[in-house]
């Protein structure tokens, strides 16, 4: 048998940005100065930046060309018209509300739909989405499948909703006279390790939403990656294009909120797209107060154009196969070397399982935070914590996942970069006992992971 031929990226490099690896001493100093929080590092001190895939994509020549065609009119920019048309074609929704990024969309949606004391069922949560639900007076409820928080469970659709839990919640709400304004379903659930839902599960959720007359809104930030997993893993979709699967998923939803900084290949941008004209009208009124006029939503015309073109490019089957393949290849190398990771590997990131990587650090000493800091000091690679620090308030009893996310920006790094990442983490794993736990010395009230400060426990 010959060796499997690995296809190279379906693009070539036209423009480059230099990066440099500062010394080990300088890295140790930098992470101390950053209070052991990788969000506080200076980007110049980072060699390979896997903090996030948000807004870090490389744009295509076609998108850059579109930037030159920005119509910077305050109202009625032709780039917005183009964006609306593209969204209607790719997602299938007639109404679009542009926002500056995903959390802008979550804010407007929460304000438009949630009343004080309402319950919102979610498959786990995304940090900003839950924060906006709660700020609007809502109560977040988890209806994810139990496998979602089991890093060793090999189910292929750990992003599914547990329909029994969902039904039970709806019936309880009815009994207690509590309103459920919508069901919230995230594609490729970030907090579970980038895990997708299946079409089969989505159809069951839709049936419940219809029966009880509760709208279904999807966080479609990583919908293309979710669609790719459906193509690869769900029976009957192998020969269906990712573009068709995206459209099919949306046909079961009332609307989506999107951070276009991920799938849609732009550095800034977001939107809500939906079917209901009345709700759209309400959101249009709100967006003017919080984001900008309803035809730019806090974005320049050139950003709207880059987003429209990015949405057209993101469903290309060769591109998305390469993107997810790159993540899978990094995961495979780590797993083969015995490094504990969440499996199956998600769509946008490899998640290290800190509970198994540094079992000598108890959860109260923030194992994932400590591991992310150690990875930086070891290699100059920036990752981020996804565990108890990213947990919403830090006051709830928590025995969930304790992960470090190595997030791969789109179209940015080559196989050589990712080999360096794998080699460095494998080397660190061999001397993992030397990694020390941390003590939290400051935390903001919400979204504390961005700015929390730590000291090493000596």
Binding residues for ligand PLP, rule: CB under 6 A, are 54, 101-103, 126, 128-129, 186, 190, 219, 221-222, 259, 261, 270
Cβ at position 6, least distance to ligand PLP in Å:
28
Considering only CA atoms, which of 386, 379, 389 is closest in space to residue 351? 386
261 is annotated as an active-site residue: no
Cβ at position 421, least distance to ligand PLP in Å:
20
74 is annotated as an active-site residue: yes
Considering only CA atoms, which of 429, 424, 382, 426 is closest in space to residue 406? 382
39 is annotated as an active-site residue: no
Q: Which is nearer to ligand PLP, 187 or 438 (CB)?
A: 187
SS3 264: coil
Q: Which two tokens stand for residue 351?
A: 């998640």
| Active-site annotation holder among 129, 302, 333, 386 | 386
Q: Which is nearer to ligand PLP, 60 or 190 (CB)?
A: 190
Instruction: Return d(Cα 214, Cα 372) in angstroms, integer.
Output: 40
**In this structure, what DSSP letter does residue 144 have?**
B
346 φ/ψ angles, rounded to the nearest 5 degrees: -75, -175
C-alpha dist (Å) from residue 259 to 20, 105, 109, 186: 30, 8, 13, 12
Backbone CA torsion sign across 239, 242, 244, 245:
positive
Cβ at position 221, least distance to ligand PLP in Å:
4
| Active-site annotation holder among 38, 56, 96, 127 | 127
Instruction: Return d(Cα 33, Cα 451) in angstroms, integer.
Output: 13
Cβ at position 198, least distance to ligand PLP in Å:
18
Residue holding tokens 């998108």?
Answer: 63
Residues in CB range of 10: below 8 A, 6 or more apart: 316, 318, 319, 322
Q: Which is nearer to ligand PLP, 287 or 374 (CB)?
A: 287
| Active-site annotation holder among 157, 237, 449, 454 | 449
| Active-site annotation holder among 61, 74, 164, 277 | 74
270 φ/ψ angles, rounded to the nearest 5 degrees: -170, 175
395 is annotated as an active-site residue: no
Q: Which is nearer to ligand PLP, 205 or 339 (CB)?
A: 205
Cβ at position 219, least distance to ligand PLP in Å:
5
| Active-site annotation holder among 126, 197, 217, 296 | 126
Q: Which is nearer to ligand PLP, 222 or 309 (CB)?
A: 222
271 is annotated as an active-site residue: no
Active-site amino acid positions: 74, 126-127, 219, 262, 386, 449
């Amino acid at each position: 048998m010959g060796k499997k031929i690995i296809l190279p990226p379906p693009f070539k490099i036209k423009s480059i940005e230099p990066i440099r690896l500062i010394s080990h001493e300088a890295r140790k100093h930098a992470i101390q100065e950053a209070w052991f929080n990788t969000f506080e590092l200076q980007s110049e001190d980072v060699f390979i930046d896997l903090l996030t895939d948000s807004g870090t994509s490389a744009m295509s020549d076609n998108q850059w060309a579109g930037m030159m065609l920005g119509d910077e009119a305050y109202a009625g920019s032709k780039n917005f018209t183009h964006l609306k048309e593209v969204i209607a074609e790719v997602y299938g929704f007639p109404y679009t509300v542009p926002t500056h990024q995903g959390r802008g969309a979550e804010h407007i949606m929460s304000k438009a739909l949630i009343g004080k004391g309402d319950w919102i069922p979610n498959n786990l949560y995304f940090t900003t989405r839950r924060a906006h639900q709660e700020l609007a007076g809502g109560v977040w409820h988890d209806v994810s499948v139990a496998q979602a928080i089991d890093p060793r469970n090999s189910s292929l659709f750990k992003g599914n909703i547990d329909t029994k839990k969902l039904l039970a919640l709806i019936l309880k709400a009815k009994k207690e006279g509590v309103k459920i304004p919508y069901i919230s379903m995230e594609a490729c659930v970030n907090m579970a390790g980038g895990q997708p839902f299946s079409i089969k599960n989505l159809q069951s959720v839709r049936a419940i939403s219809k029966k009880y007359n509760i709208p279904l809104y999807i966080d479609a930030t990583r919908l293309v990656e979710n669609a790719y997993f459906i193509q690869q893993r769900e029976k009957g979709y192998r020969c269906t294009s990712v573009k068709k699967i995206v459209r099919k998923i949306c046909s079961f939803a009332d609307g989506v909120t999107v951070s276009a900084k991920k799938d849609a290949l732009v550095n800034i941008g977001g939107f809500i797209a939906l079917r209901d004209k009345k709700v759209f009208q309400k959101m249009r009124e709100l967006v003017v107060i919080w984001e900008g006029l309803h035809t730019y939503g806090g974005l320049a015309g050139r950003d709207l154009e880059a987003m429209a073109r990015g949405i057209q490019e993101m469903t290309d089957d060769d591109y998305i196969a390469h993107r997810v393949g790159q993540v899978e290849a990094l995961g495979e190398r780590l797993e083969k070397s015995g490094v504990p990771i969440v499996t199956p590997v998600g769509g946008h990131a490899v998640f290290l399982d800190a509970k198994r990587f540094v079992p000598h650090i108890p959860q109260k000493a923030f194992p994932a935070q400590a591991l992310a800091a150690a990875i930086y000091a070891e290699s100059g690679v920036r990752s981020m914590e996804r565990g108890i620090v990213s947990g919403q308030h830090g006051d709830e009893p928590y025995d969930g996942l304790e992960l470090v996310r190595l997030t791969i920006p789109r179209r940015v790094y080559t196989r050589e970069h990712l080999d360096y990442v794998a080699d460095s983490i494998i080397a660190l794993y061999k001397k993992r006992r030397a990694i020390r736990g941390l003590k939290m010395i400051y935390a903001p009230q919400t979204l504390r992971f961005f700015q929390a400060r730590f000291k090493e426990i000596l």
